[in-house]
Amino acid sequence: MKPQVIIIGRPNVGKSTLFNRLVGKKLALVDDQPGVTRDRRLGDAEIAGLQFTVVDTAGWEDDDDLTLPGRMRKQTEASLEGADAAMFVVDARAGLTPLDNEIARYLREYDVPIVLVANKAEGSSGESGVLESYSLGLGEPVPLSAEHGEGIADLFGSLWPIIGEKAEAAEAGAAAFAEANEDEDAPLGPLKLAIVGRPNAGKSTLINRMLGEDRLLTGPEAGITRDSISIDWQWNDPKSGETRDIRIIDTAGMRKKRNVTEKLEKLSVADARRAVDFAEVVVLLLDATQGLEHQDLKIASMVLEEGRALMIAINKWDIAEDASGLFNGIRAALDDGLAQVRGLPLFAVSAKTGKGIDAMLGAAFDLRESWSKRVPTAALNRWFDDALDANPPPAPGGRRIKLRYITQASTRPPRFVVFGTRLDDLPKSYERYLINGIRSKLGFDSVPIRVTLKSPK
């Protein structure tokens, strides 16, 4: 169950507007028709990944049988039941009224944590109202403008300590439920693997080798797209002794099947592109006798730009000359040539002898795991706070850049959103500092991650 947050306040302070803002849709009507008693409206709200149910009580005050304070009290009592937090909204432009003071007085009688919201605080005309609202004795007000969407991020800062834990538990519960009901395309299904590379790198030979005698071939099947071939097979992982499902896309077979006449070099990029659409993990196969060439980096960049997990295998290791020089050279060229990631998994293999293939496949499963991983918001922000402490953002021109928090917006590939203000002034070097921190401290080492900066507006 998601945490429930109730919006409370006297008429016209902007409760419905705030509700609409949080839910992101025009669910609650904003109207001034008196005498219409409406039901409580529930909506799914989200601020920066924090998910909760928001309850709009606007309209409850229109109950003819009671005086306005009486109606407010009734509204409050009823709605606070089962609530994890209440947002008490006041109008920063109009300033406090006796009714605000009265609501504040009886709100303090309840155990429910209160977040004081000073709405209509856009521009400067709300400043005195914001200051005045401290006198309610409900702590620091969050100034915001529901209508213009300003200050919503600060609301996160106030709500998170109250409902963050429950929200996260609900999210984990929902994820566990989804996982239990997942189909084979989801993370626990077969590993979707593509082998790409220049012509003659040994792709067909490698696939044939992998599907060899000790492996159970469950049948080539025409698949995913019109002109691709996928093969399901079971790999015996010698390390764990387990059998693991892999679905491999056979781009080489694809090419043979289509009987193409296009130039082979051009084709390997096109093949890779198609394979990338299908795959979770892409193995870029190099030829030990050729080394790393521009074309390889081009394919590698494309795979990373598409957000797929990438690993590199140097094939024909059985005939490699100066093996360790070659390996180290390719390692350095990859780190130089692919700024997006560091330390891509690099393997020496031989499709001919079978050397290194099991190690490569084991690593492919590990890589998929990082690529699919979600870091809980609390842990993410613990790391974030430490990273900011260790190396605070700069203050160009004496004006401090404020970074407030971070959330992981998605997985496969992992995407993160950093919220703050004056982000336009944040140097690229600081962005890289954060990205490197996410990689090395949160276990996304060689996975392509995305970080977006967002000013809450």
Rounded to the nearest whole angstrom, what is the least distance from the CB of residue 140 to ligand GDP in the complex?
A: 19
State yes or no: residue 107 binds ligand GDP (CB under 6 A): no
For ligand GDP, which stretch binds (CB under 6 A), given 33-41, 115-123, 301-309, 365-373?
115-123
State yes or no: residue 15 binds ligand GDP (CB under 6 A): yes
Say whether 236 counts as a known binding-site residue.
Answer: no
Give the H/E segment covering residue 405.
strand 402-410
Q: Which CB sits closer to ligand GDP, 126 or 413?
A: 126
Q: Is 56 helix (H, G, I), strand (E, B) or coil?
A: strand
Window 286-345: residues binding ligand GDP (CB under 6 A): 315-316, 318-319
Say whether 57 counts as a known binding-site residue.
Answer: yes
For ligand GDP, which stretch binds (CB under 6 A), given 178-186, 198-206, 294-302, 332-340?
198-206
Which one of residues 23, 54, 90, 146 is an interface residue with ligand GDP (CB under 6 A)?
Answer: 146
For ligand GDP, which stretch binds (CB under 6 A), given 184-192, 196-204, 233-241, 438-446?
196-204
CA distances 417 to 71, 179, 409, 449, Å, are 42, 24, 6, 11
State yes or no: residue 2 binds ligand GDP (CB under 6 A): no
**Dist CA 14 CA 286 (whole Å):** 62
Q: Is 226 helix (H, G, I), strand (E, B) or coil?
A: coil
Say whether 253 counts as a known binding-site residue.
Answer: yes
Q: Is 307 helix (H, G, I), strand (E, B) or coil?
A: coil
Whether the Cβ atoms of residue 116 and residue 158 lie closer than 8 Å to each other: no
For ligand GDP, which stretch binds (CB under 6 A), given 118-126, 329-337, 405-413, 439-447?
118-126
C-alpha closest to that of 257 among 283, 220, 282: 220
State yes or no: residue 205 binds ligand GDP (CB under 6 A): yes
**Dist CA 245 CA 231 (whole Å):** 11
Rounded to the nearest whole angstrom, what is the least distance from the CB of residue 396 to ligand GDP in the complex?
A: 30
Concatenating the DSSP letter of every residue in 246-301 gives EEEE-HHHHHHHHT--S-HHHHHHHHHHHHHHH-SEEEEEEETTTB--HHHHHHHH
Say whether 402 counts as a known binding-site residue.
Answer: no
Which one of residues 1, 12, 135, 386 is an interface residue with ligand GDP (CB under 6 A)?
Answer: 12
C-alpha closest to that of 264 among 199, 217, 312: 199
State yes or no: residue 13 binds ligand GDP (CB under 6 A): yes
Beta bridge mates, 142: 117
State yes or no: residue 273 binds ligand GDP (CB under 6 A): no
Whether the Cβ atoms of residue 225 and residue 277 lie closer than 8 Å to each other: yes
Q: Is 364 helix (H, G, I), strand (E, B) or coil?
A: helix
Rounded to the nearest whole angstrom, what is the least distance from the CB of residue 9 to ligand GDP in the complex?
A: 6
Q: Which CB sits closer to ligand GDP, 79 or 370?
A: 79
**Dist CA 378 CA 329 (whole Å):** 40
**Dist CA 268 CA 260 (whole Å):** 12
For ligand GDP, which stretch binds (CB under 6 A), given 47-55, 177-185, 203-211, 398-406?
203-211
State yes or no: residue 200 binds ligand GDP (CB under 6 A): yes
Binding residues: 9-16, 56-60, 119-122, 197-204, 250-254, 315-318
The binding site for GTP consists of 9-16, 56-60, 119-122, 197-204, 250-254, 315-318
Q: Which residues bind ligand GDP (CB under 6 A)?
A: 9, 11-17, 30, 58, 119-120, 122, 145-147, 197, 199-205, 252, 315-316, 318-319, 350-352
